[in-house]
Amino acid sequence: MTESEYSMSALPRSIVSLSALADNARLAVAAARGSGSSVLCADLRRDAWGHGLKAVAQAVAMAGARSVIVDDDEAVDAIRDIELGAKVTVDERCASDINPAILYGLPDNEGVVIGTPAMALVGRVVSLKSIQTGDAVSYGYTFRAAKPTRLALVTGGYAQGIVRALGNQARVDISGQSFDIVGRIAMDVSVIEIGGVDVHEGAAVRFFGAGTARAALHDWQRITGLTHAELVTVAGLRTLREWAA
Amino acid sequence: MSHPVLRISASTLARNIEVIRSRVAPSDLMLIVKDDAYRHGAGWVAGVAKRAGVAWIGTYDIPTALQLRDELGPDIGLFAWATSADDEISAALRRDVDLGVGSLEYLERVICQAGQAEVTARVHLKIDTGLHRSGIAPEAWTHAVRRALSAQDEGLISLVGVWSHLAEASDEEDDAAQAIFLRAAAYARECGAQIEHTHLTASAATWARPDLRGTLVRVGAFCYGVRSADGADIDGVEPIATLSACVSAVDDDVVAINLGSLDGLPSTLADKVSVGTPAGARALVGISLTHSTVETWPGAHVGDEVRIFGAGAWAERSTTGLAEAIETVGEEILTRITPHVRREYTN
């Protein structure tokens, strides 16, 4: 997503941590070396799986990668100015031997993140609301409250990669506490149940990659049947990217 | 063709708009262009719509409305309803963007920004008719209307609209929602508000439930030719976009195409749907990160086009036809598509 002079407050953020990328890149290159691989090639296709091509190229080059695979000549141009010391290849048939799960900090098949998640998908509490027993939430009224409770409306819906199938299934994090997504996820917003917890308008809501939602992508994979790779990439390409140290 | 392409037809969009406008008359169409017009491109779509005579565009977020004000000029109504930051509110008010307001907190901020910018905010107040997302609860409605009208007396806002979203869970529940909605609008008028606009329905209810339409109807999906999941085709309306990939390799049984799950094609579609080829429908066999495989056909060549979704000329499915195989909606198929897929506009 492009830079804007405005807050872009309606859009969730994909916050990419440069230190996590640097640490993960070292871990991933060491793991490739350790398994006897000498190609040391990183998969940076599709804007480095939605994490930002230039930043990831820099991180893997610093960590000793010998080559990177990118999408096309435009991507080759985009990283031309970086002191890579690595060979840049345009993908046809990918032969990367640096494990992207380690590089990007994605859960492994057991749901464990070996390094640190490089991306956190973060929405914001827009408004708060109390509801009564029997009140329903969102399209199709797929959630009905079993007792009086409170809801928070959150930026982020399926157009930003928060998959529609996650409604009534997944959980999010606010300040270290975990909350259920309730009702159907809409195109741009979701609703979470906060009950009696003191949550404020504007609070950061972590969908994955931080807090109790650190390994939530693994739940997303189980719920949706989609892969970690496509879940993180589409979210990264469909949200406003911000950088963290 | 190194990139897959979303090919979008202006004449189909204009025709869909015309069909929907004549269907909903005397209600007026507000064309919804949220999320970059469901990935078709908000600026391009709004331009086609304005030339087709559409009087209202709904953007959801304010930055898109500001972009469209620049591109389309002053002679079109713009409506943004995302609860937004103060800098966005201020810019919207200076550029004649109507705001949808769904909480007392947001109403206060709009009033405050109008005072600072020394302009009158045009406000459409949202009543919560059961969805429990944005929207003022019925028990708080009288307070909200009175607050809005006191700000109107000071010249800070103009309460011009009452609106809501329907759940579309059942006709009965939508009827109950409409009853709340009509009472809310009636109350605002009794208090002296000059309500120019009422709007309650989106695509499906707009089409099927004339009795629920207000002065405006908010339609996105149907204008783009996206029918409801498990819903019938819409008479006279066709998909405006075709997603095309390109054959990059030909093996004995399958061809590879240059579109994969990292481009937004859900990998769960593999083995569940067919796609369009020059020889007609063929099974989508596998979906990997940047490529997919499709059952081959006689004479398949590298460089051949494969249509993932479209209007069906090659027996390809619609977006909704794909979505139904994985229990979602056509809008999700469209909006997952990433910028790696280039857009091409025709006529």
Q: Tell me which residue has tokens 């972590």.
A: A206
Label residue B344 by pLDDT band (50, 70, 90).
very high
End of a domain among A60, A79, A104? A104
Question: How many domains, in total, are found in chain A?
Answer: 2
Distance from CA of A61 to the nearest CA of B (A): 23
CB-CB: which of B61, B267, B338 is closest to A226? Answer: B267
CB-CB under 8 Å, B336 with A7: no
CB-CB: which of B88, B134, B340 is closest to A46? Answer: B340
Q: For position A91, what pLDDT does the model report?
A: 60
End of a domain among A77, A104, A131? A104
CB-CB under 8 Å, A189 with B248: no
Average pLDDT score over residue span A175-184: 98
CATH 2.60.120.200 given to domain B10-224: no
pLDDT, one tens digit per residue, over B234-246 is 999 999 999 999 9
Strand partners of residue B305? B246
Same domain? For A93 and A27 the reply is: yes
User: Is the residue at A7 inside a domain?
Assistant: no
Nearest of B335, B286, B294 to residue B316 by alpha carbon? B294
Protein fold of B241-346? Lyase, Ornithine Decarboxylase; Chain A, domain 1 (2.40.37)
Same domain? For A174 and A223 the reply is: yes
pLDDT, one tens digit per residue, over A219-232 is 999 999 999 999 99
Q: For position A4, what pLDDT does the model report?
A: 76
Q: Which residue of B has its CA nearest to A141?
A: B169
Between the alpha carbon of residue B30 and those of residues B75, B79, B124, the distances in Å are 14, 9, 14
**A134 Cβ neighbours under 8 A, 6+ residues apart:** A144, A145
User: Is the residue at A21 inside a domain?
Assistant: yes
pTM of the predicted protein model: 0.97
pLDDT at A132 over 90: yes
Q: For position A95, what pLDDT does the model report?
A: 77
pLDDT, one tens digit per residue, over B167-193 is 988 999 999 999 999 999 999 999 999
| Mean pLDDT score across all residues of chain A | 94
User: Is the residue at A48 inside a domain?
Assistant: yes
Cα(A138)–Cα(B217) distance, integer angstroms = 19
Nearest of B127, B96, B143, B89 to residue B111 by alpha carbon? B89
Same domain? For A128 and A93 the reply is: no
Same domain? For A90 and A54 the reply is: yes
Question: Best of B2, B69, B83, B329 to disrupt the A interface by mutation (most A CBs within 10 Å)?
Answer: B83
- A223 in contact with B, Cβ within 8 Å: no
- Domain range for A98 is 17-104
pLDDT, one tens digit per residue, over A92-127 is 555 789 999 999 999 998 999 989 999 999 999 999
CB-CB under 8 Å, A186 with B338: no
Q: Which residue of A has its CA nearest to B265?
A: A230
Q: For position A93, what pLDDT does the model report?
A: 56
pLDDT, one tens digit per residue, over B265-292 is 999 999 999 999 999 999 999 999 999 9
Which residues in chain A have their CB less than 8 angstroms from residue B329's CB?
164
Q: Please, what is the Cα angle at B258 between B254 and B263, to 5 degrees? A: 125
Query: Please, what's the b/e burial string for A14-31 (b: 16 or more CB within 10 A of its CB; e: otherwise)?
Result: bbbbbebbbbbbbbbbeb
Residue-range domain boundaries for chain B: 10-224, 241-346
Same domain? For A58 and A162 the reply is: no
Between the alpha carbon of residue B293 and those of residues A12, A50, B290, the distances in Å are 33, 23, 11
Give alpha helix (H) positions in chain B: 10-24, 34-38, 42-51, 62-72, 86-94, 104-117, 138-153, 171-190, 203-208, 319-325, 330-335
Q: Which residue of B has its CA nearest to A6?
A: B88
CB-CB under 8 Å, A10 with B261: no
pLDDT at B20 over 80: yes
pLDDT at B113 over 70: yes
